[in-house]
Structure 1
């Protein structure tokens, strides 16, 4: 709707008919005071304001309209038959007007301006509605996100208890003479134990995510020998996967400040992924080097299926799985997200270099720090 403000009825009638004949909805006010009352009650796409009016003139009305938060962005076109000098035109713009026309005006020019400003108003309204909708969607997702994290935390803790009990019963069964002397039963129990290990790892990942989201994951920062960290991790993974070869390239004698258990968790995740996503390869490389900016870079290289370049930025996102491989390989896409958070809490960097069908290099870089007294912090 357009508001026309003029103290002369003949001007109001003629301009109103002209705009209504061009399919605009129009409201009128015969004084500045009446106009102010109307703009506080209604929203107008445009205000056409006469300058010379008794009592409150157009400039004063424009200043007051521009001072209201509700009408701050309402466009104002000044119309004047008397105040046509440059100083009045300048004052019109200074008081909040976006255009200044002098009478007699060209109806076609006025119509073009009205259409333009009306269109801009409609676009601004659409943008505002989109922003409000988006804001509501974001808030709704944050509600859902909080509920999901709460559910993950509760479910993970609840699953730990029966899992521990099942593990205990399996260990008891393994000790029974009838089981120890029967290869078929032993095979069944071994397979069950393997599946329980997978379930345990899944629950541990869920618990880690819950701790990360709630800021309760604790880090015990101590001096760590990089060489010792790599040696221990490679030894552990070799015992888990005796059919694979793990070769270390490069020697890192540096000592950093970090949480050894958490950093080993990152390495183990990289290594098990390298095995998982390279089913036709038995070799995994562990690379270590000092970067040009004096950081330690540790990487795990496989010779597997690789990752498309357009997926590199998303691979560390929570619950993200590459579509091309999701139907072949099990997992919920939590491991790399947890690794990312652990590395970030060590002030480190992470990344991946990969080509489809040519393997991948997952790496992280840690800054060299002076190892002071043992420290513990919560994140």
Structure 2
């Protein structure tokens, strides 16, 4: 938008008419004071400013405008009498003006100057946007590099922990073999097996991340019994964690459509996290039901919970809650993988939590394949 500032109505009318005829948006002010009020409220590409006005003259207006951060990219063209001397022209440039047009105004010259300033403005704005985008891209590279380095450090530590334990137990097993102590051997073999299982989970997560990044995470979707899958998982998880009572609520009759192995992966992650972050001896509640032709599943614990800020980021890749990272192991990729799995099932995943009171993680996915979904009556 262009602002014309002149105390002469005739000048304003003639300039406004020519500029609007050439598709420029125009605003006007009849005094310096009125112009400054408008500049505070609106953004202008160009100000055509009369030098000689009662009250605030054009130079004073220009000096005031130069102090406005809102108008730092606004160009100013002074309108002055043909008799303007060198001192006046010099003052105009020092006040922030970029050009002069003598009165009476040659409209052709005015239009050329206006078009030039508009072109410069557009180029400047495009350059600023490019610079901003480049700065953001550089910051994103830096952040990605930082996260990569952090992840490599965490992964190295997490993989090294079970490997160190396995090495230690094997050394102890060798001593037990010499003594032919079968009970001790059996107990230590069980501990080795647990550490190997942890290693398998870590490696599987790393492979899944690689497949997600390359778009090669495969799914084998078909109809299966969700209740049968859940009953089996609860039985196994309960046996492995006798200190926690797993309470099952609700049921899902019939079969649902999806990748059974991947849905199992999400459920195990939810239950494992609930046991990990809940205090020993507490219950965790598992709920499954049908809602509007969708499977709704949730796992609720009564543990440490998390803040609203963490709830918004918990499904991001490599995200770990700093306060718990020293107490609880993990790569910060389990929930990210879960989100990818549920997204690929056209579903929704989320969490509700209260700091100090516990968390509830949930997902919901369509019961049927997309082809069958279209045939289902809407509830």
Displacement after TM superposition at 1:278 (Å): 1.2
1:57 aligns with 2:109: yes
Q: For residue 366 of structure 2, what is the aligned residue in structure 1?
A: 367
Residue aligned with 1:57, SS: helix
Displacement after TM superposition at 1:58 (Å): 1.4
TM-score normalised to structure 2 length? 0.62
* Aligned residues of 1:271 and 1:300 also touching (Cα < 8 A): yes
**Distance in 2 between residues matched to 1:337 and 1:363, nearest whole Å:** 14
Structure 2 residue runs of 5 or longer lacking an equivalent are: 1-72, 373-379
Displacement after TM superposition at 1:19 (Å): 3.0
Q: For residue 327 of structure 2, what is the aligned residue in structure 1?
A: 328
Q: For residue 72 of structure 1, what is the aligned residue in structure 2?
A: 122
* Aligned residues of 1:51 and 1:58 also touching (Cα < 8 A): no
**Distance in 2 between residues matched to 1:148 and 1:325, nearest whole Å:** 20
CA shift in 2, pair 1:135/1:308, >3 Å:
closer
* Aligned residues of 1:350 and 1:364 also touching (Cα < 8 A): yes
* Aligned residues of 1:304 and 1:360 also touching (Cα < 8 A): yes
**Distance in 2 between residues matched to 1:266 and 1:65, nearest whole Å:** 59
CA shift in 2, pair 1:281/1:315, >3 Å:
farther
Q: For residue 118 of structure 1, what is the aligned residue in structure 2?
A: none
- Tell me the alpha carbon deviations over residues 31-80 of structure 1, each in whole angstroms, 9 at most, x when there is no partner: xxxxxxxxxxxxxxx545457577952113323553x4x44377xxxxxx
**Distance in 2 between residues matched to 1:342 and 1:181, nearest whole Å:** 46
Superposed, 1:168-207 pairs within 5 Å as 178=178, 181-207=181-207
**Distance in 2 between residues matched to 1:126 and 1:277, nearest whole Å:** 47
Q: For residue 13 of structure 1, what is the aligned residue in structure 2?
A: 86
TM-score normalised to structure 1 length? 0.62
Residue aligned with 1:325, SS: helix
Displacement after TM superposition at 1:223 (Å): 0.6
Higher relative contact order (CA 8 A, sep 6+): 1
Query: Which 4+ residue blocks in structure 1 deviate beyond 6 angstroms?
Result: 1-9, 124-128, 145-152
Displacement after TM superposition at 1:133 (Å): 2.0
**Distance in 2 between residues matched to 1:147 and 1:328, nearest whole Å:** 22
Q: For residue 67 of structure 2, what is the aligned residue in structure 1?
A: none
Displacement after TM superposition at 1:203 (Å): 1.7
* Aligned residues of 2:246 and 2:283 also touching (Cα < 8 A): yes
Q: For residue 299 of structure 2, what is the aligned residue in structure 1?
A: 300
Structure 1 residue runs of 5 or longer lacking an equivalent are: 27-45, 75-120, 374-379
1:340 aligns with 2:339: yes
Residue aligned with 1:313, SS: helix
Displacement after TM superposition at 1:271 (Å): 0.7
Q: For residue 312 of structure 1, what is the aligned residue in structure 2?
A: 311
Residue aligned with 1:360, SS: strand
Q: Alignment partner for residue 137 of structure 1, among 133, 136, 139?
A: 139
**Distance in 1 between residues matched to 2:177 and 2:190, nearest whole Å:** 16
* Aligned residues of 1:256 and 1:371 also touching (Cα < 8 A): no
Superposed, 1:266-277 pairs within 5 Å as 266-277=266-277
Residue aligned with 1:306, SS: coil
Displacement after TM superposition at 1:255 (Å): 2.2
**Distance in 2 between residues matched to 1:219 and 1:320, nearest whole Å:** 25
Q: For residue 109 of structure 1, what is the aligned residue in structure 2?
A: none
Displacement after TM superposition at 1:136 (Å): 3.1
Q: For residue 262 of structure 2, what is the aligned residue in structure 1?
A: 262
Residue aligned with 1:205, SS: helix
Residue aligned with 1:191, SS: helix
CA shift in 2, pair 1:209/1:225, >3 Å:
same
Displacement after TM superposition at 1:182 (Å): 4.7
CA shift in 2, pair 1:133/1:11, >3 Å:
farther
- Tell me the alpha carbon deviations over residues 330-363 of structure 1, each in whole angstroms, 9 at most, x when there is no partner: 2222111111111111111111122223222211
Give the length in aligned residue pairs.
Answer: 290
* Aligned residues of 2:79 and 2:101 also touching (Cα < 8 A): yes
1:212 aligns with 2:262: no
CA shift in 2, pair 1:140/1:330, >3 Å:
closer
- Tell me the alpha carbon deviations over residues 101-160 of structure 1, each in whole angstroms, 9 at most, x when there is no partner: xxxxxxxxxxxxxxxxxxxx9xx9988754542233235556x499779989xx99xx8x
* Aligned residues of 1:149 and 1:210 also touching (Cα < 8 A): no
Residue aligned with 2:340, SS: helix
CA shift in 2, pair 1:297/1:325, >3 Å:
same
Q: For residue 250 of structure 2, what is the aligned residue in structure 1?
A: 250
Superposed, 1:153-172 pairs within 5 Å as none
